[in-house]
Amino acid sequence: MANSSDNEVDLFLEAVKDARPLSKPKRIHHAPLRPKPIPRQFLRDEQQALADSLSDHYIPAHELETGEELLYLREGHSPDILSKLRRGHWVVQAAIDLHGLFSDEARLYVSTFISDCKKRGVRCVRIVHGKGLGSRNREPVLKNKLRGWLMQKDEVIAYAEARRQDGGSGAVIVLLKA
């Protein structure tokens, strides 16, 4: 008497007698995906270059100033630009506020901001520097430094003290190259 498991084996062998083994699939080796390296030193160098691109000791050859009002027009541009800038002809597309920043922090912030605006095609910006009421001698430290920093940036065509509703003597409106 045949065992039922023997019958099952015989049935299985009968069922697979004409079967052929499958060919082995070709193995595809994928290199593990690694993220691109972060160029940390390059980024540090770029930040340092931005910070170093503006000096606190820059003395302009020509600067238009009437009393305490800040005005500047890069050589070779029409004086119309200044009057339009002072009247609010251009829409302010971006703004930063330097309140509470130390000079070195503010310099880097301004430099980075202007570079970013240039990359994004922003033409007119407001930079709030404050009136100096919170500084030691109650004098606008950043206002005076900002004047020199902006003149050193090739992207800056002109700047003028902001209109009263835009910050007055505590801010400047800056026109950047297209």
Residue 109, in any domain of the structure: yes
Mark 109-132 as b/e (b = at least 16 C-beta within 10 Å). Answer: bbbebbeebbeeebbbbbbbbbbb
pLDDT of residue 49: 64
**136: CATH:** 3.30.1370.110
Q: Is 102 part of a structural domain of the chain? A: yes
3-state DSSP of 19-50: CCCCCCCCCCCCCCCCCCCCCHHHHHHHHHHH
Quick one: pLDDT at residue 68? 54
Helix or strand or coil: residue 13? helix
The three-state secondary structure class of 109 is: helix
One digit per residue, pLDDT tens: the chain, 178 residues?
556 778 888 998 899 888 887 777 777 666 676 777 777 777 776 776 666 555 555 545 444 444 556 788 988 888 888 888 888 888 999 999 998 888 889 999 999 999 999 999 999 999 998 876 666 666 677 888 898 899 888 899 999 999 888 888 889 999 999 8
The whole-number pLDDT of residue 30 equals: 66
**148 in a domain, yes or no?**
yes
Contact criterion met (CB below 8 Å) for 140 and 158: no
How far does Cα 174 stand from its chain's mean position?
17
Alpha-carbon distance values, 49 to 44, 80, 95, 149 (Å): 9, 33, 23, 14
Which residues span the domain enclosing 142?
A: 69-176
Residue 27, in any domain of the structure: no
**Per the domain annotation, does 92 fall within a domain?**
yes
Q: How many domains does the chain have?
A: 1
Task: State the average pLDDT for the chain.
Answer: 81
pTM above 0.85, yes or no: no
